Amino acid sequence: MCSHLAMLLEILQDDILNIVPEEWTYNDVVNNEALLKQKMNDIIKRHEKLILMTEGLESACSFIIALNMVTGSIIICFMGFLTTVMGLANVVKYLYSTFSTLLQVFMVTWYANLLIEKSTGLSGAAYNSRWYDCSIGFKRSMLILMIRSDRPLHVTAMKFSMISLNTFTRIASSSWSYFTLLRKIYDPE
């Protein structure tokens, strides 16, 4: 779902960037003010729908994401530990399980990060459009869109932590810390 939202945000970025066609002169912009207002209203409505869709995704998946992150961290830690203490015959099985869990956590954080990146890109697209040739009302609408786009759309783990690639590095880091603690307790040499 995050990838779908990110794709829709990228389409919205392109529409914002090209709201005033490059080939239009200043007179074309002035003469087509009603069309530009209509386009801007459409963009604002689509942005609002994407915000609501993200909030819906957040409310539907927040618990699942939190559970996924916590269990992923624990599984990575214990599978890594079992890889080091079990016999050579089981190493491949435990390495595969560790890698699979790492990949699964990475995929969740990758798509959540993609959503953040695409939503913050709307502000840049608005700034790079030809808003400066338009009316005061249009400029205000664009400014409001830019300000709203500075706050990224995101998903969280039960409102505890915003999910991004930084989350993946924190999970990998904490799993490594727990793994080294287990190794120290198991093998106190």
Q: Is residue 29 part of a domain?
A: no
- 46 within a domain of the structure (yes/no): yes
Task: List the domain range (segments joined by +) for residue 72.
Answer: 40-186
| Res. 38 pLDDT band, cuts 50 70 90 | very high
In a domain, 20, yes or no: no
Count of beta carbons in the 10 Å neighbourhood of residue 188: 6
Cα gap 39→122, rounded to integer Å: 15
Residue 80 lies in a domain: yes
Among 101, 105, 67, 103, residue whose Cα is nearest residue 83 = 101
Residue 111 has a pLDDT of 93
The three-point CA angle 158-73-97 to 5° equals 130
Q: How many structural domains compose the chain?
A: 1
In a domain, 138, yes or no: yes
**181 in any annotated domain:** yes
Q: Give the pTM.
A: 0.84
Report the distance separating Cα 79 and Cα 179, nearest Å. Answer: 9
